[in-house]
Amino acid sequence: MALDIVGVAPLYQGPDINRMRLTAEPSQKPASLLKPLVPSKSKLTTIETKRIMSVLDETIHKVELVTLLSYVGANYETLERMLGGDIIKAVREHEDLCHSLLDSVIYLQDKERRLQEEEECEEEGWFRDRLFSIERQKSHLLPLMHQIKESTKDILRLLLNNPQAASLAQTHTLSRSVEAQNFIDCLMELRGFLFEKLLTSPVEARDKSQFIQDIDRRNKRNQEIINTLEDELAAITQNREAEKKYKVETEIENWIQKYDMEMGEKQEEYEELDIIHKEEKIQLEELKQKHSVLVEEFSQIRAEQEVNAKKRIEAEQEMLRMVRAATLIQALWKGYLVRSMLKSRKKKRSKSKGRVKKGKGKGKGKK
């Protein structure tokens, strides 16, 4: 249920400066160097061909003017002096009609979208009535579209009757939309094809057709040769790949045999080393057990030695104390003996002195 109204939308798209082309020149293709494909004439000679080209050129000129109407309508204040009041007035009326049409189209599209969303949840009769209402509103757009076409024709008449205004409008090619510029480029390309076609005479057309057929047959023969060569190349490649594959498989098999042989030797060596390792492991366990017994015995012996050493040290210390005590006792005894001897000698001396004194006294009395 899409609306079939797309004719005026490109005329009112805003200019995209980054995507615009600098000129509206026709696309140029390199000329062919093949003589049968190049027309012998470079200018049109008959009235019919000139009229055909004139009609196409006039159409391109009108399209170039029409695609600038959106820019003129958006900048009518600055362009009014250059283009004239009549043209600006017609453009503004045309712009109002286009906006009215676009608003109606957007409104109907929105109603269609909402109707599609409600299609499954509403009754069939109500849906049919809404759809009929939208179709009826679409039919009301036809007179508006006819007015837009007539206003476009009126503006073109005003511009064509005023060549200076048309030239001034065409100076703003940068403001043309990308879609419009692409359409003009396609028309210019069509003009080139048509011009070349009109320059070609019936004899040249026949020669050209014959030349193309020859080229086509030659191309087919070349393609057959290419296909044959490609098949031969594929066969050779396949054979070579089969030889590369056979060689690779043979080499892989040799490597596998060598690997199996080396791994067998390594396995035997590993088994021998494993047996030796197990025997050494058993010996190690026995040595560990003996070592633990010796460690225990050594600990006991060391403990006994420590006890004996402690007792010996205590005995030596006790002997040292006894020696010191004996020495002290001997010294005290010797001192005592010395003092006693000195004391006895002192007594003996005092006794002898007393005796001497007594003897002297007796002698004096005798006299």
CB atoms < 10 A from the CB of 67, how many?
21
Has residue 364 been placed in a domain? Answer: no
Has residue 72 been placed in a domain? Answer: yes
Position 261: which residue type? Answer: M
Has residue 40 been placed in a domain? Answer: yes
pLDDT at 118: 66
Has residue 349 been placed in a domain? Answer: no
pLDDT at 291: 87
The whole-model pTM stands at 0.41
CA distance 163 to 217: 53
Has residue 94 been placed in a domain? Answer: yes
Has residue 259 been placed in a domain? Answer: no
pLDDT at 225: 92
CA distance 284 to 291: 10
CB atoms < 10 A from the CB of 350, how many?
10
Residue 174: closest CA among 21, 64, 13 = 21
Alpha helices in 118-140 (DSSP H): 124-139
Give residues with Cβ within 8 angstroms of 62, minimum separation 6: 156, 160
CA distance 231 to 59: 54
CA distance 72 to 365: 191
Using CB atoms within 10 Å of the CB of residue 218, give its burial: 0 to 12 exposed, 13 to 18 middle, 19+ buried.
Answer: exposed
Position 336: which residue type? Answer: Y
Per-residue pLDDT in tens (0 to 9) along the chain, 367 residues: 333 333 333 333 333 323 333 333 344 444 444 555 555 566 777 788 788 888 888 888 888 888 877 777 777 666 767 777 788 888 888 888 888 888 888 887 887 777 776 655 555 666 666 776 777 777 777 888 888 888 888 888 888 787 777 777 777 777 777 888 888 889 888 888 888 788 777 777 777 778 888 888 888 999 999 999 999 999 888 888 888 788 888 888 899 988 889 888 888 888 998 999 999 999 989 888 888 888 888 888 888 888 888 888 988 898 888 888 888 998 888 888 888 888 888 887 777 766 656 655 555 554 4
pLDDT at 223: 92
Using CB atoms within 10 Å of the CB of residue 36, give its burial: 0 to 12 exposed, 13 to 18 middle, 19+ buried.
Answer: middle
What Cα–Cα distance (Å) separates residue 7 from each residue in 59, 66, 105?
A: 16, 12, 12
Q: Mean pLDDT, the chain, as a whole number?
A: 77
pLDDT at 213: 85
Secondary structure letter of residue 359 according to DSSP:
H
Has residue 65 been placed in a domain? Answer: yes
Has residue 218 been placed in a domain? Answer: no
What sign has the CA pseudo-torsion 65, 71, 77, 81?
negative
User: What per-residue string of b and e applies to 68-97 under the rule 16 or more CB within 10 Å gives b?
Assistant: bbbbbbbebeebbeebbeebbebbeebbeb
Residue 3: closest CA among 99, 96, 113 = 113
The structure tokens listed for 284 are: 């190690």
| 16 contacts 182 by C-beta, under 8 angstroms | no
Count of structural domains, the chain: 1
Q: Look up the domain containing 95 and give its range.
A: 9-200
Position 24: which residue type? Answer: A
Place of tokens 């490109």: 10
